[in-house]
Structure 1
Amino acid sequence: MNIREKILIVEDEKSIAHFISTVLNTNGYEAILARSGGEAQSMISSHCPDLIILDLGLPDIDGLEILRQLRSWSSLPVVVVSARSHEKDKVMALDLGADDYLTKPFGTDELLARVRTAIRHTRTISDNSEIAQKGTYSVGDLTIDYNKHQVLVCGENVHLTLSEFRIVALLGKYAGKVLTYDSIIKELWGPRAGGNNQILRVNMANIRRKIEQNPAEPKYLFTEVGVGYRLAEGD
Structure 2
Amino acid sequence: MERILLVEDDLAISDMVRTFLIKEGFKVDAVFTGKEASNRFANDSYDLVLLDLMLPEINGMDFLQALRQNSYVPVIIISAKDGEADKAIGLGFGADDYMTKPFSMIELLARVKAAIRRSTQYKVPSQEEASPMIYIHELEMDLHNFIVKKNGLEINLTSKEWKILKLFLENPKKVMTKEQIYHSVWEDHYYGDDHVINVHMSRLREKIEDDPAKPKYIKTVWGIGYKLGEFV
TM-score, normalised to structure 1, is 0.53
Runs of 4+ in structure 1 over 2 Å off: 169-172, 177-180
Q: What amino acid does structure 1 have at the position aligned with 2:34?
A: G
SS at match of 1:170: coil
Q: Output the aligned Cα RMSD.
A: 2.0
Q: What amino acid does structure 1 have at the position aligned with 2:26?
A: Y
| Gap change, CA 1:37 and 1:177, over 3 Å in 2 | farther
CA distance in 1, matches of 2:125, 2:43: 20
In the alignment, which of 35, 41, 61 is matched to residue 38 of structure 2?
41
SS at match of 1:66: helix
1:123, CA displacement in angstroms? 2.6
Q: Indicate whether 1:26 and 2:23 are aligned.
A: yes
Q: What amino acid does structure 1 have at the position aligned with 2:28?
A: A
1:25, CA displacement in angstroms? 0.1
CA distance in 1, matches of 2:44, 2:124: 16
Q: Which runs of 5+ in 2 are unaligned?
A: 132-143, 146-232
| Gap change, CA 1:24 and 1:177, over 3 Å in 2 | farther
1:175, CA displacement in angstroms? 6.8
Q: What amino acid does structure 2 have at the position aligned with 1:29?
A: F
CA distance in 2, matches of 1:92, 1:51: 20
| Gap change, CA 1:45 and 1:106, over 3 Å in 2 | same
SS at match of 2:124: helix
**Matches of residues 1-235 of structure 1 in structure 2 within 5 Å?**
4-124=1-121, 126=122, 170-171=124-125, 176-177=129-130
Higher relative contact order structure (alpha carbons within 8 Å, sequence separation ≥ 6) = 1
1:55, CA displacement in angstroms? 0.3
CA distance in 1, matches of 2:48, 2:83: 24
CA distance in 2, matches of 1:6, 1:171: 21
CA distance in 2, matches of 1:120, 1:99: 13
1:34, CA displacement in angstroms? 0.9
Q: What amino acid does structure 2 have at the position aligned with 1:76?
A: V
Q: Look up the match of 1:134.
A: none
1:171, CA displacement in angstroms? 3.5
CA distance in 2, matches of 1:175, 1:23: 41
Aligned length: 133
| Percent of residue pairs bearing the same amino acid type | 39
Q: Look up the match of 1:160.
A: none
SS at match of 2:55: coil
1:121, CA displacement in angstroms? 1.7
CA distance in 2, matches of 1:59, 1:42: 14
| Gap change, CA 1:44 and 1:85, over 3 Å in 2 | same
1:177, CA displacement in angstroms? 4.6
SS at match of 1:58: coil
Q: What amino acid does structure 2 have at the position aligned with 1:44?
A: F
CA distance in 2, matches of 1:177, 1:8: 34
CA distance in 2, matches of 1:5, 1:26: 13
| Gap change, CA 1:61 and 1:123, over 3 Å in 2 | same
TM-score, normalised to structure 2, is 0.54
CA distance in 2, matches of 1:79, 1:67: 10
| Gap change, CA 1:177 and 1:33, over 3 Å in 2 | farther
